[in-house]
Amino acid sequence: MAYSDKVVEHYERPRNVGSLDKSSEQVGTGIVGAPECGDVMKLQIQVDDDLNIVDAKFKTFGCGSAIASSSLATEWLKGRQLDNALDIKNTDIVKELALPPVKIHCSVLAEDAIRAAVRDLEQKLESAGKLPKKEAAATAGE
């Protein structure tokens, strides 16, 4: 299977590999996938007091396309407002990385990981009173 140059580039020089302190009030963590399915993504975001995403990290068990999708997601997340994090859609990732149809699930997983990290952080912020409580509908899409 031939990979696009961008997938290869992210695989060889992944951006933002690592971990943030998951116990921090300003860090949201999303872990999606399962080892028996062949992909697990952990994606973390950190915000400042103005809810700007100041850092994003990932670790991924999966194929090159899964690694590239999560690497790209962290790149796109950094510098965004938390509110805009969910604007990143799997279709954007597919386009940017030129993923073939059989690899679209990798981009879906990356989008899921973003959602999971954002939700985790929002819950922390809500319980700390820094964010108003959201309706349950915000978590739809699972």
Partner 1 sequence: MSKRVYLDNNATTPMDPRVLEAMMPYFTEKFGNAASRSHAFGWEAEEAVETARKQIASVIGADSKEIIFTSGATEGNNIAIKGAAAMYADRGKHIITEVTEHKAVLDPCGWLHQNGYDVTYLEVDREGRVSAEQIQAAMRDDTILVSIMHGNNEIGTLQPIAEIGKLCKERGVLLHTDCAQTFGKVPIDVNEMGIDLLTVSGHKIYGPKGVGALYVRRKRPRVRCEPIVHGGGHERGMRSGTLDVPSIVGLGAAAEIAKSDMASDASRVSGLRDRLMKKIQDACPEVYLNGHPTERLPTNLNLSFAFVEGESLMMGFKEVAVSSGSACTSASLEPSYVLKALGVGDELAHSSIRFSVGRFNTEEEIDHAAERVVATVEHLRKMSPLFEMAQEGIDLSTVEWAHH
Give the residue numbers marked as catalytic: 37, 106
Q: How far is the CB of 37 from partner 1 (least distance, A)?
A: 7
Contact with partner 1 (CB under 8 A): which of 9, 24, 59, 139?
59
Residues 6+ apart with CB under 8 A from 54: 46, 47, 48, 78, 79
Rounded Cα distance between 26 and 4, Å, is: 35
Q: Please answer whether residues 109 and 32 qualify as being in contact, where contact means their C-beta atoms are separated by less than 8 angstroms.
A: yes
Selected range binding partner 1 among 53-61, 89-97, 117-125, 130-138, rule: CB under 8 A = 53-61
Nearer to partner 1, 51 or 64 (CB): 64
Site for partner 1, residues 72 to 101, rule: CB under 8 A? none
Check residue 2 for interaction with partner 1 (CB under 8 A).
no
User: Of the listed pieces 58-66, 75-83, 90-98, 132-140, which binds partner 1 according to CB under 8 A?
Assistant: 58-66
Binding residues vs partner 1 (CB under 8 A): 1, 3, 8, 11, 14, 17, 19, 31-42, 58-67, 102, 105, 108-109, 112, 116
